[in-house]
Amino acid sequence: MRYFEQDGSSLIWRNKGETLVITPWGENSLRVRSTLMGDVADTRFALLDPQEAQPEITIGDTHATIRCAGITADVTMDGWHRYAQITFLNARGEVLLRETPPANALALKSRKFEPHLGGDFALTATFEGQDGEHIYGMGQYQEETLDWKGSTLELAHRNSQASVPFYISSRGYGFLWHNPAIGSVSFGTNRTTWHAESTKQLDYLVCAGDTPADISLAYAKATGFAPEMPEYGLGFWQCKLRYWNQEQLLEVAREYKRRGLKIDVIVCDFFHWPRMGDYRFDPEFFPDPAAMVSELQEMGIELMVSVWPQVALTSENYEEMLQQGLLVRAEYGEQIGMRFVEDSMFFDATNPRARRYVWEKCRKNYYDHGIRIFWLDEAEPEYGTYEFKNYRYHIGSNQQIGNIYPQHYARTFYDGMIEAGQQNPVNLLRCAWAGSQRYGALVWSGDIMSQWADFRRQICAGLNMGFAGIPWWTTDIGGFHGGWTDHEDFRELFIRWFQWGCYCPVMRLHGDRQPSQPVRRKDGTPVLNSGYNNEVWSYGETAYPILVHYMERRESLRPYVRTLMNEAHTAGKPVMRAMYYEYPQDAACADLKDQYMFGPDYLVAPVLEAGARSRSVYLPAGSWTDVDTGITYEGGQRTTVDAPLERIPVFRRNA
């Protein structure tokens, strides 16, 4: 009886209605797909065309292998259940990852399809646990955790949570769960368990590499590289909730210019429009957008404009978009996805016609005025109650494909800007999924609180986003909610956050500062409030010279940051790198979550506790020089260094 066969470069196994296909996806990567009662589909949710590879396939009666240059899949059938178990090995024959076995009388399945009667499947895939393994990546979760071994994660997006299901293992492989379904993953000590609530097939990618950088490169080849970062992405970005009229925004930019402080970008935040979904400036508050953009560009400043995917039921575009089927649809109840200011539903970014419609509105009303950067907020999308089962898209139910939404939202603008002739678009988004990086997605960490605990969580969030293949990442410096500009306790947090922001991929100031300021139309009608002042001169005489120093520090780092952005573009490397990423052979670096490498040369140790004026830092082997004091330290040890309010510890690695 023939269980195995070869089809081109793929190895196929069939038994009892299951079809399992293993295909090379480059010389160091293998893609695995499986389905019941049908043929596997080549659905490209995140994957691009594979890099050329010439596999060696060997087939026996109950055993087969598919071997590429850097990775091998060994498929063995047990004698009792005739069930195929896959083991992945590196070029040296060392086990990287193995599916769980049937376990004799237990009759377990590592690929378990549970039917939804009359529909598709719930899917569970399990792999054996490996002693001493460390798991990094998976996107952005608001936890103070770097190594996910022993953790369970939701595979779903929320405001400040971005599920990017790719991880890098300390055993020398990367794993992409190529499935945008709502689900979960548990990295247990005995097994790793992936679960999709609704899907048509199993689909995952395994990449082998001797270093994290090797794995990042293989993954980027499979899912895409970030574009080159434009020059305006290297400096300082000024933002607040919210500059509510044209003159206010321009006057802030002029004041930075008068003070001799260079900013690259200033941001016009949300509710500058008449109604959500109008995709244009409100002429009462922004009477001449083209003139505003022109004056800013004369000062060397780009304007970034917020766009929301929500379309209010009162929007001038709502009825047409509803009639044309360009909106997400609720399965039950009212056709409302969110209630903020007014009722709205999200445009369906998975629908090519909807993407074209929204881009054409934004091209006419923003891009044609000279705006070249967009802030694509609410990108999860942020459903009011996150009832994931209750929404349907052009390409399927939210439960089955919903996690792909932010990737398609980024694509909406990326494709339009490329078609308009712009090179290397970069847009700010609040969420991402696998492959988002190739659409110029710069992700920020969402509407977090202005608290020390939230600050600490952002270090891990940024490092794990880098591991997950999203090299462009940032935060609201100072946090978003709850920061009072005039309060001394918040000012200390703000200073420490700002210092750290200098060593983030993008240095961006934002937040809803308190007390909020009411805003009204000329006729007295209230509109959305504006936050309090959030410019560097807003935080008092002690803070101002410190903030200016770090703005100038960032500017001095511009050539270096440019090289890091190039490494992201050409090699898939993150800009902000966990210590383990740069020093995988140093066991002391495996779980360091409060310090990191800014590229290969700078070790950054943020101050993460209120009142702290020193902190402990681990320096890997070699020689390190404090960039502020000039003191040189020998590595391979932990040391305590001073951290007065005016500086955080940063060390340059000596050659």
Locate the DSSP E strands across 441-506: 441-444, 473-474
Q: Is 380 a catalytic residue?
A: yes
Q: CA-CA distance, 611 to 598, in Å (whole number)?
A: 25
Contact 318/277 with Cβ under 8 angstroms? yes
Q: CA-CA distance, 164 to 405, in Å (whole number)?
A: 12
Distances 129 to 74, 88, 202, 505, 645 between C-alpha atoms, Å: 18, 13, 20, 34, 44
Q: CA-CA distance, 30 to 28, in Å (whole number)?
A: 7
* Residue (of 533, 598, 608) closest to 564 by Cα position: 598
Q: CA-CA distance, 310 to 327, in Å (whole number)?
A: 9
CA 328 to chain CA mean position, Å: 23
* Residue (of 572, 556, 554) closest to 265 by Cα position: 554
Handedness of CA 480, 485, 490, 492 (dihedral sign): positive
Of 447, 486, 586, 646, catalytic: 447
Of 269, 348, 380, 594, catalytic: 380
Tokens for 362? 């934004």
Distances 611 to 46, 452, 492 between C-alpha atoms, Å: 45, 11, 8
Of 302, 377, 582, 626, catalytic: 377
Tokens 């500058």 belong to: 272
Q: CA-CA distance, 413 to 619, in Å (whole number)?
A: 42
- DSSP 3-state of 206: strand
Q: Is 377 a catalytic residue?
A: yes
DSSP sequence for 345-394: EEB-TTSHHHHHHHHHHHHHHTGGGT--EEEE-STTT--SS--GGGEEET
Own/partner pairs for 414-423, CB < 8 Å, 24+ apart? 414/439, 414/440, 415/355, 415/359, 415/439, 416/355, 416/356, 416/359, 416/360, 416/362, 416/363, 416/367, 417/367, 417/372, 420/363, 420/367, 422/372, 423/227, 423/228
Q: CA-CA distance, 129 to 292, in Å (whole number)?
A: 58
**Residue 326 DSSP one-character state:** -
Q: CA-CA distance, 370 to 349, in Å (whole number)?
A: 24
**Residue 449 DSSP one-character state:** B
For residues 334-355, one letter each, b for 16 or more C-beta atoms within 10 angstroms of the residue's C-beta and e for the rest, the string is eeebbebeebbbbbbbbbeebb
- DSSP 3-state of 267: strand
* Residue (of 567, 477, 475, 469) closest to 513 by Cα position: 477
Contact 25/31 with Cβ under 8 angstroms? yes
Q: Is 131 a catalytic residue?
A: no
Tokens for 483? 């920061």
Tokens for 453? 């605990």
Tokens 């376990």 belong to: 103
* Residue (of 407, 319, 309, 422) closest to 362 by Cα position: 309
What contacts 128, CB < 8 A, 6 or more positions away? 97, 98, 99, 100, 101, 190, 191, 192
Report the DSSP beta bridge partners of residue 83: none
Active site residues: 377, 380, 447
